[in-house]
Amino acid sequence: MESTHRVLILGGGFGGLYAAKALRKAPVQLTVLDRRNFHLFQPLLYQVATGSLSPGEIASPLRAVLRRQQNTQVLLAEAVDLDAEHRKVILDSGDLEYDTLIVAAGSTDSYFGHDDWKRVAPGLKSIEEATEIRHKILYAFEAAEKEHDPEIRREWLTFVLVGGGPTGVELAGALGEIAHDTLRRDFRSIRPEEAVIWLVEGGGRVLPTYPADLSAKAEASLKRLGVTVRTNAFVTAIDPTGVTVKTSGGSEQILARTVIWSAGVQASPFGRTLQQRAGAQLDRAGRVMVNPDCSVPGHPEIFVIGDLAHLELDGKLLPGVAQVAMQEGGYVAKLIQKRLRDETVAPFRYFDKGNLAVIGRAAAVAQIGPIHMSGLLAWITWLFVHLMYLVEFSNRVLVFIQWGFLYLTFNRGARLITGSDPLSQPAPVAEAAKVAK
Amino acid sequence: MESTHRVLILGGGFGGLYAAKALRKAPVQLTVLDRRNFHLFQPLLYQVATGSLSPGEIASPLRAVLRRQQNTQVLLAEAVDLDAEHRKVILDSGDLEYDTLIVAAGSTDSYFGHDDWKRVAPGLKSIEEATEIRHKILYAFEAAEKEHDPEIRREWLTFVLVGGGPTGVELAGALGEIAHDTLRRDFRSIRPEEAVIWLVEGGGRVLPTYPADLSAKAEASLKRLGVTVRTNAFVTAIDPTGVTVKTSGGSEQILARTVIWSAGVQASPFGRTLQQRAGAQLDRAGRVMVNPDCSVPGHPEIFVIGDLAHLELDGKLLPGVAQVAMQEGGYVAKLIQKRLRDETVAPFRYFDKGNLAVIGRAAAVAQIGPIHMSGLLAWITWLFVHLMYLVEFSNRVLVFIQWGFLYLTFNRGARLITGSDPLSQPAPVAEAAKVAK
C-alpha cells in the first residue's frame, strides 16, 4: 500500500485556511501549522482597535474550524527553516516532512526602514496590536480629561493615521465617530468632538486602488466626520511628540500623542527562507515570484499563496487582499487533487469580486465590477458581504447584534483599557506572529 | 450660596458603582475614581478564563454606565495616599478634595506569605489574569499534542486548582467540560478527556460557606465531570513542575504544568493607608473595622464598603461577595443624602439573597433562604439571576446568545491564545489594579 500524500500548510490566514477547507475530502494527510491557535478575520480588526468588537468575535480557533476534517491536523508551532531537498520544514520543536508544501505565511507591517517608528506608531495586523491601539486611543481621551495645560491637552486629542488605504480610512472614520458620538457625553472637562484626526496619505488620493470617484466620495464622508485628509504628504519622522509631514509646500510638524501606522506591508520573512533554500526569486517587497499555478519555479511541490506571493495576471500584480488569498488557496487545493489523479490544471484565474471600504455609520464606498456605490447602499452591501463571510465561523449572530447595538446607541461595548499597566501609555507588543500568520 | 457637597468614591467595583448610581439624584458633586476605565462583572470572570466569554462582554466602561448622571465625574487615576485632616486624596497625578469619602477599593489575591507562587499559579481577579489563565489552559493542551514523552504529556494534561470556594469550583467544572466536550474532537495525538483535574481544598468540603448538603451535591457534580476533589489538603509548595499537597496521610507531589490559585484574598493596600492616616483598625486580613453605619471610627466622613470593610452583624462577619458590597453602597448613598438633610439613619442591615455556584452545563447549587436547590433548577436560577444583573450593563443579550451557543454546541468561541508570545507559556501579568479596583 502506498503511503498517504502529505500536505503541509504554513499559516492559518485566509489563504491557508481556504486551501485546508478545500482539501477536506482529498486523499491526503493534511497538517495546518500556525503560531496562533486561531484564524483572524482581519478585515474587521479595526473594529477591535476602535472598541466595537471583542477579539473573540473576529477570531475562530483553528481546531474548531477544522475539527470535522478527519484528514487534517492542526499544529501550533513556528516554521523556522526549510530543507527543500529532503522536503522538510524545520520547526521550533522538531521537523515536519511533506510531499506538498503550501506557504501562506502572509505579511507584516513595513516601516520602510524606520523600524524605530513601530514603538510609537503601531500597525494593525494582530489582535495584540488592535488592543494596543484601543488602549492608546481610549487612554488619550482619559489623559486629556486630566490634563490642565491646554497645549498638552490638545496634543492628547490629536490623532494621526499614516496611510490612506482601506485600513487608514476605516480607522479614521471609526475615530471620528468615537469622538463625535460615542464619547460625546462621557467627559466633563474635555469635549471629545474637539479631537483632531489627521489622515496622511503619500499618494494623490485616499483609497488609491479604488476608482477616483469613490476616493472623492470617501474623502467627503471623512470630512463630514471631522477628519482632516492630507494627500501627497509623506511622513519623514515619528516620535512620541508627533509626526513630521513633508508636502510640496514644505515640512509640517503635527503635535500628537497618538499615531497609528497603516502605510505599508512587507512579506513574511519566510520568503527569504524560500529564496535561500529553494532558489526562489523575491520582488522588492520580499514577495515570492511564483509560476502561473502559484508554484515556486523549480519546485512544483512548493506553492506560495496570499500576501507572500507575487503573481501577475494580464500584466497586473494581484493585490494583497483576502479574496486573492482565498481564491489562490482554493485553486492550489484543486491542483493538488488533480495532480494526484495525474490530471492537469489551467493557470490560476482571479475573479475580482470588487472592493469595499466602510467609513462610518451608514457610509461606505463599493466597487463591484462596473458598479460604483457609496453611502447607505454601499454600507448595506458591506454589512451583507462581511456577515456572509463570517457565517462560516459561527460568530455572525454576535457580530450582527453588536453592530445593531452600535447603530442604535452609538455605544461601543468593548471600550476596555487593558494591559499590564492601564495607567501608563501602552508598551508596544513584542513582535508576534513572525512566520505562520 | 453654599458650595456643593463633594463625594469621592475610590473604586468602580460593585460597592463603588452601586453607591454612585444611588447618588445619581443627590445634590452632591460626585467623583468616581478607578485605575481601570471599566466596571468588571467579576462573578463571570471564570468564563473569560475558560474561553466562553470575551472580556468586553463582562466589562462595561464606567463612563458609559455613569454618563447620564449629570452630577458625576469619572477619573482614571490611582489613589496613592490620604490626607484625612485636610480631606484630600493624593493621586498619582495631583490631589482631590472631598467632603465625604467612600473607599471601595476591594481585595486582591492572598498567597499567605508565598508571593513567589503568584508567578506560577495566577489568581482570577482581573481581565489580564483571566486571559493569562485562558492562555495557560489552552496552551497546555497544545503543548501536550506536540509532546512525545508520555510523562511530560501527562504533566501538561494535569491541572491543579487550589481553593474549593465558588471560583475554584466553577473553574474546575468549566475545565472538566473543556476536556470532555469542547476539545473532544479537536486533537489528533492526545485525548483531552484524559486530562486530570485536581481541586485542592484546605477545609473539610468544597464550598465551605454553603450548606453541607449543597457542598456534597457540588462535589458529586464535579466528580461526574472527571474532577478529583481533595479536601483537608494544604498546599505547601508550588513550582513550575507542580504542587506539593499535605494531608493527614502525609505529603503528596502532583506533577502539573498548570496551577490556578483561588485559595484566598487579602484586602486592598489602601486599608493600610486608612490605618496610618485616619487611625483605622485593621483585622488580620487587612480589612478595615467599620462602625455599624460603615464609617471609620473617628471619621464620620469616611466610609469603607465591600471587600475592604470588616463589618459584623449579629456576631457574623459579612462575606466578601458582590451583594454585600452593592447593599453597603446603596446604604451609604442613602445615609449621605439623609445626613445632608440633617436626618439620621439606622445601622446597615444585610439582606442575604442566597448563594449560587455553577458547576457545569445544567448543573449548579443554590441556597436561597431556607431553600436548597441543585441540578437543572439551580442552574436556571443561576442563569436568570446573572442575566438580571447584567441587564443594567447592556451586555445581557450578547452573553445570553453566547451561552445559548455554548449550551447547544459545546463550542467556546473565545478560545484565543493571546499575548506577546503565543508559543511560550504566558508570563505572569504585572500586578495591576492595586488600589481602586
Q: Can you give the residue range of the structural domain that contains A121?
A: 117-263+354-409
Q: Based on the domain organization, do B277 and B194 belong to the same domain? A: no
**Out of A54, A401, A429, closest to residue B397 by CB:** A401
Pairwise CB contact (< 8 Å): A146 & B418: no
Give the model's pLDDT for residue A437. Answer: 32
- Which residues in chain A have Cβ-Cβ distances shorter than 8 Å to B416? 37-38, 55-56, 59, 61, 127
Pairwise CB contact (< 8 Å): A432 & B422: yes
Give which of B279, B304, B278 is closest to B291, Cα–Cα.
B304
Which residue of chain A comes nearest to B92, CA vs CA?
A: A423
Pairwise CB contact (< 8 Å): B418 & A64: no
Phi, psi of A196 (to 5 degrees): -110, 120
Contacts of B270 (CB under 8 A, 6+ apart): B10, B79, B82, B103, B105, B308, B435, B436
Nine-digit cell string for B289: 473595622
Pairwise CB contact (< 8 Å): B185 & A138: no
Pairwise CB contact (< 8 Å): A67 & B185: yes
Residue A424 domain-assigned (yes or no): no
Using CB atoms within 10 Å of the CB of residue A341, give its burial: 0 to 12 exposed, 13 to 18 middle, 19+ buried: exposed
Q: Which residues of A305-314 are buried (b: 16+ CB within 10 A; e: fewer)?
A: bbbbbbbeee
Pairwise CB contact (< 8 Å): A395 & B413: yes
Q: From CA A43, how far away is CA A368, in angstroms rounded? A: 17
Q: From CA B109, how far away is CA A408, in angstroms rounded? A: 40
Which entry of B170, B201, B219, B328 is annotated as an active-site residue?
A: B170
Which residue of chain A comes nearest to B95, CA vs CA?
A: A146
How far, in Å, are A100, B61, B208 from residue B354 at the CA level? 61, 28, 14
Give mean pLDDT, residues A398-409: 64
- Which residues in chain A have Cβ-Cβ distances shorter than 8 Å to B415? 37-38, 61, 64
Nine-digit cell string for A309: 506571493
- Going residue by residue through chain B, which has 437 residues, state the pLDDT in tens, using 9 for 90 and above: 458 999 999 999 999 999 999 999 999 999 999 999 999 989 889 989 998 888 887 888 899 889 889 999 999 999 999 999 999 999 988 899 999 999 999 999 999 989 999 999 999 999 999 999 999 999 999 999 989 999 999 999 999 999 999 999 999 999 999 998 888 888 988 999 899 999 999 999 999 989 999 999 999 999 999 999 999 999 999 999 999 999 988 999 999 999 999 998 899 999 999 999 999 999 999 999 999 999 999 999 999 999 999 999 999 999 999 999 999 999 999 999 999 999 999 999 999 988 899 998 778 999 998 999 999 899 888 888 887 777 665 555 566 666 666 666 666 667 777 765 555 655 444 433 333 33
- Which residues in chain B have Cβ-Cβ distances shorter than 8 Å to A430? 420-421
Mutate to test the interface with B, among A54, A69, A127, A142 (most CBs of B within 10 A): A54
Beta strands in B268-377 (DSSP E): 288-289, 295-296, 299-304, 309-310, 312-313, 316-317, 355-360, 363-368, 371-374
pLDDT of A413 above 70: no
Q: From CA A53, how far away is CA A396, in angstroms rounded? A: 12
Where does the pLDDT of residue A140 fall: very low under 50, low under 70, confident under 90, or very high at 90 and above? very high
Helix H segments across B225-366? 270-278, 322-340
Mutate to test the interface with A, among B6, B54, B434 (most CBs of A within 10 A): B54
Which residue of chain A comes nearest to B61, CA vs CA?
A: A415
For A307, half-sphere exposure in the C-beta direction (CA atoms, 13 angstrom radius) is 26
Pairwise CB contact (< 8 Å): B57 & A413: yes
Q: Based on the domain organization, do B224 and B191 belong to the same domain? A: yes
Q: Which helix (H) or strand (E) holds A312?
A: strand A312-313
- Which residues in chain A have Cβ-Cβ distances shorter than 8 Å to B433? 422
- Which residues in chain B have Cβ-Cβ distances shorter than 8 Å to A418? 55, 127-128
Are residues B118 and B336 in contact, defined by beta-carbon separation less than 8 angstroms? no
Which residue of chain A comes nearest to B437, CA vs CA?
A: A422
Give the 3-state secondary structure of residue B255. strand
Mutate to test the interface with A, among B62, B76, B152, B399 (most CBs of A within 10 A): B76
Query: Rounded to 5 degrees, what angle do the CA atoms A122, A128, A129 make?
Result: 15
- Which residues in chain A have Cβ-Cβ distances shorter than 8 Å to B418? 55, 127-128
Nine-digit cell string for A273: 527562507
Pairwise CB contact (< 8 Å): A183 & B63: yes
- Which residues in chain B have Cβ-Cβ distances shorter than 8 Å to A38? 415-417
Residue B216 domain-assigned (yes or no): yes
**Out of A37, A54, A186, closest to residue B54 by CB:** A54
From B312's Cα to the closest Cα of chain A, the distance in A is 35
Pairwise CB contact (< 8 Å): B75 & A146: yes
Q: Based on the domain organization, do B139 and B225 belong to the same domain? A: yes
Residue B44 domain-assigned (yes or no): no
Give which of A50, A82, A2 is closest to A33, Cα–Cα.
A82
Dump the DSSP string for B125-191.
SSHHHHHHHHHHHHHHHHHHHH---HHHHHHHTEEEEE--SHHHHHHHHHHHHIIIIITTTT-SS--
Of A288, A309, A340, the last residue of a domain is A340
Residue A400 CB neighbour total at 10 angstroms:
14
- Which residues in chain B have Cβ-Cβ distances shorter than 8 Å to A74? 186
**Out of B63, B127, B142, closest to residue A418 by CB:** B127
Nine-digit cell string for B336: 449621605
Q: Based on the domain organization, do A146 and A293 belong to the same domain? A: no
**Structural domain count of chain B:** 2
Residue A358 sits in a domain of what CATH number? 3.50.50.100
**Out of B56, B398, B422, closest to residue A416 by CB:** B56
Pairwise CB contact (< 8 Å): B37 & A432: no
User: Between A and B, how many CB-CB pairs are < 8 A?
Assistant: 156
**Out of B36, B411, B416, closest to residue A59 by CB:** B416
The one-letter code for the residue type at B255 is: L
pLDDT of A53 above 50: yes
- Which residues in chain B have Cβ-Cβ distances shorter than 8 Å to A76? 142, 145-146, 417, 422-423
Give the model's pLDDT for residue B92. Answer: 87
Q: Based on the domain organization, do B245 and B371 belong to the same domain? A: yes
Q: Based on the domain organization, do B307 and B182 belong to the same domain? A: no
Catalytic site includes residue B343: no
How far, in Å, are A92, A266, A272, A335 from residue A295 at the CA level? 25, 20, 16, 10
Mutate to test the interface with A, among B186, B402, B434 (most CBs of A within 10 A): B186
Q: Based on the domain organization, do B85 and B146 belong to the same domain? A: no
- Which residues in chain B have Cβ-Cβ distances shorter than 8 Å to A394? 405, 409, 411, 413
Give which of A173, A190, A167 is closest to A227, Cα–Cα.
A173
Residue A158 domain-assigned (yes or no): yes
Q: Based on the domain organization, do B323 and B203 belong to the same domain? A: no
Using CB atoms within 10 Å of the CB of residue B27, give its burial: 0 to 12 exposed, 13 to 18 middle, 19+ buried: exposed
Are residues B179 and B193 in contact, defined by beta-carbon separation less than 8 angstroms? yes
From B351's Cα to the closest Cα of chain A, the distance in A is 32
Q: Based on the domain organization, do B256 and B141 belong to the same domain? A: yes
- Which residues in chain A have Cβ-Cβ distances shorter than 8 Å to B407? none
Q: Based on the domain organization, do A133 and A231 belong to the same domain? A: yes
Q: Based on the domain organization, do A301 and A278 belong to the same domain? A: yes
Compute the mean pLDDT over every residue in chain A, rounded to the nearest whole number.
89
**Rounded to the nearest 10 degrees, what angle do helices B212-224 and B166-177 cross at?**
20
Residue A68 domain-assigned (yes or no): no
From B87's Cα to the closest Cα of chain A, the distance in A is 20
Highest mean pLDDT among A145-154, A392-401, A413-422: A145-154
Pairwise CB contact (< 8 Å): B128 & A419: yes
Pairwise CB contact (< 8 Å): A127 & B37: no
Nine-digit cell string for B105: 477599593
Pairwise CB contact (< 8 Å): A413 & B138: no
Query: Rounded to 5 degrees, what angle do the CA atoms A423, A425, A431 make?
Result: 130
Q: Based on the domain organization, do B303 and B214 belong to the same domain? A: no
Are residues A102 and A23 in contact, defined by beta-carbon separation less than 8 angstroms? no
Encode pLDDT of A266-324 as tens digits.
999 999 999 999 999 999 999 999 999 999 999 999 999 999 999 999 999 999 999 99
Give which of B66, B10, B9, B12 is closest to B36, Cα–Cα.
B12
Which residue of chain A comes nearest to B129, CA vs CA?
A: A420
Give mean pLDDT, residues A257-266: 93
Give the model's pLDDT for residue B44. Answer: 87
Q: From CA B72, how far away is CA B28, in angstroms rounded? A: 9
**Out of A60, A61, A188, closest to residue B73 by CB:** A188
Give mean pLDDT, residues A149-177: 95
**Out of B185, B401, B418, closest to residue A398 by CB:** B401
Positive or negative torsion for Cα A290, A294, A300, A304: positive
Residue A340 CB neighbour total at 10 angstroms:
14
Are residues A223 and A80 in contact, defined by beta-carbon separation less than 8 angstroms? no
Pairwise CB contact (< 8 Å): B405 & A394: yes
The single-letter DSSP state of residue A229 is E
- Which residues in chain A have Cβ-Cβ distances shorter than 8 Å to B395? 413
Residue A342 CB neighbour total at 10 angstroms:
6
Residue B95 sits in a domain of what CATH number? 3.50.50.60
Residue A51 domain-assigned (yes or no): no
Which entry of A57, A129, A132, A170 is annotated as an active-site residue?
A: A170
Q: Which residues of A4-28 are buried (b: 16+ CB within 10 A; e: fewer)?
A: ebbbbbbbbbbbbbbbbbbbeebeb
Q: From CA A101, how far away is CA A7, in angstroms rounded? A: 6
Long-range CB pairs of B276-281, under 8 A, 24+ apart, other chains included: B277/B81, B277/B82, B277/B83, B277/B84, B278/B82, B278/B84, B278/B302, B280/B304
